[in-house]
Amino acid sequence: MTHTETDETTTAETPVAAEEIQQTDSELGRHLLTARGFHWIYGTSGDPYALTLRAESDDPVALARRIREAETPLWQSAAGAWVTGRHGVAAEVLADPRLSLRHADLPGLQRHVFSDAWSNPLLCHIIPLDRAFLHASGADHARWERAAAPVLGAAAADGHRKSAERLHQETADGLGASFDLMADYSRPVATGAAAALLGVPEAQHDRFARACLALEVALDAALCPQPLVVTRRLTEAVEDVRALVGDLVAARRADPGDDLLGTVLRAGSPAEDALAVGVLTAAVGVGLTAGLINNAVEALLAHPRQWALLGESPDLSAGAVEETLRHAPPVRLESRIAAEDLTLAGQDIPAGAQVVVHVGAANRDPEVFLAPDHFDLTRPAGQGQLSLSGPHTSLFGAFARLQAETAVRTLRERHPRLAPADGVQRRMRSPVLGGVLRFSLTGSA
């Protein structure tokens, strides 16, 4: 496969990967440990953003409230980032093209070494995930979204509904009377739907699923240092999924079908763009989808009257997913870098500074939402919009929404007396996704 330089700000070439893997355990491990130490250190003063990144026993919703209720709508955390939990500022930040996923003046890997470690360490990119296309420029994202629109765009969603229903029915058929929502349902359907989008051949399904599993921590790993072994599995999975998708792209170039990669290629995009969209499907699309399903089911089961309502009107599944996007967003934190000096919410933000939107906090802003802590699937449409306003969530928003709607509808229909057997267990060090480890349910076989 060939590598094509897609724009001047993105460089993700093979030699860089070799360098990444050559970092010794001791070098990479100490880097991660130091970043983790900083999150603890900045949390000692009670800073709610630092405590969010620490992701220990503190209640993330309570921390989100403190982030939102800070004196100024946009405030600087001890951890360096400018943080907002107000809906108005959040929407402004996410729409501002001067705020990007990467440093405007740092070509190539978004790697920060804590050389002057004890003052102002850059905690905005804990590890460089450029090889997973997670720190791409706004221009790259716009091009990818445009090329993928015939498959991933909102208008295309209805066309995928039948195949989604088939996949969900098949998965539901395999469920016993009790099952684990994540392991037995959300993850398999999200991975299966992604494999279908990319046209992953049957023989490669297990390999693809293994890679997706290791990639589940990707969005967290960018902001919150993961243990070394988890980080190693992640970077290996990035390389593996690049190789897997790279082979698919090469095959589509000879024979473009109408799947996602073929569609991107047929739009005249270079192979690197198809690779990017494919890798992002595994690194972001799968986790976003599984997370949305988990959060929707968790919220519905915690509100039996809403679950009952959904039984009476299955079409409320769209409202249930929309309300989940608002109430329990699958991506809680969006991190940006200021490309130039700018003024936001009355604050002067210097070029290169990190700006973080707490989507979960903004989505419960009482200035925008009535009874914001209340989960209500009959709210007017569009209230979860902020949750799909980032480049990653926007690219896969329609896909995740369709899968989650289908999941909610299928589970409600097949298991009307579905109930948690136990509380939901979430991963540690998962401040961005609140990734679910286990969620045991008893169904009604």
**Which range of residues in 27-35, 66-74, 260-268, 374-382 is near another protein by CB under 8 A?**
27-35
Least CB distance from residue 34 to another protein, whole Å?
A: 5
> Which residues from 70-129 bind another protein, rule CB under 8 A?
117-119
If the CB atoms of residues 218 and 296 are measured against another protein, the closer one turns out to be 218
- Strand runs (DSSP E) across 64-167, as ranges? 74-76, 82-84, 99-100
Amino acid found at 287 = G
Least CB distance from residue 30 to another protein, whole Å?
A: 5
Contact 362, 61 (CB under 8 A): no
Per rule CB under 8 A, is residue 40 in the interface with another protein?
Answer: yes
Per rule CB under 8 A, is residue 381 in the interface with another protein?
Answer: no
Task: Determine if residue 382 is left, alpha or beta; phi over 0 gives left, psi from -120 to 50 gives alpha, anything else beta.
Answer: left
Per rule CB under 8 A, is residue 22 in the interface with another protein?
Answer: no
Of positions 56, 69, 170, 236, contacts another protein by CB under 8 A: 56
Contact 244, 204 (CB under 8 A): yes
If the CB atoms of residues 34 and 385 are measured against another protein, the closer one turns out to be 34
Per rule CB under 8 A, is residue 150 in the interface with another protein?
Answer: no
Contact 310, 377 (CB under 8 A): yes
Per rule CB under 8 A, is residue 343 in the interface with another protein?
Answer: no
**Which range of residues in 34-42, 62-70, 100-108, 381-389 is near another protein by CB under 8 A?**
34-42
Number of residues that bind another protein (CB under 8 A): 26
Per rule CB under 8 A, is residue 24 in the interface with another protein?
Answer: yes
Of positions 16, 23, 30, 145, contacts another protein by CB under 8 A: 30
> Which residues from 406-445 bind another protein, rule CB under 8 A?
428
If the CB atoms of residues 58 and 247 are measured against another protein, the closer one turns out to be 58
Per rule CB under 8 A, is residue 213 in the interface with another protein?
Answer: no
Q: At CA 237, angle to CA 236 and CA 240, rounded to 5?
A: 90
The residue to which tokens 């058929």 are assigned:
173
SS3 348: strand
* DSSP bridge partners of 333: 358
Q: Which of 424, 404, 417, 438 is nearest to 168 (CA)?
A: 404
Residue 42's alpha-carbon distances to 17, 48, 116, 416, in angstroms, are 31, 9, 17, 46
DSSP element (H, E) containing 31: helix 25-43
SS3 375: coil
**Which range of residues in 28-36, 61-69, 299-307, 372-380 is near another protein by CB under 8 A?**
28-36
- What letter would DSSP give residue 184? I
**Residues near another protein (CB under 8 A):** 24-27, 29-30, 33-34, 36-38, 40-42, 44-45, 56-57, 117-119, 227-230, 428
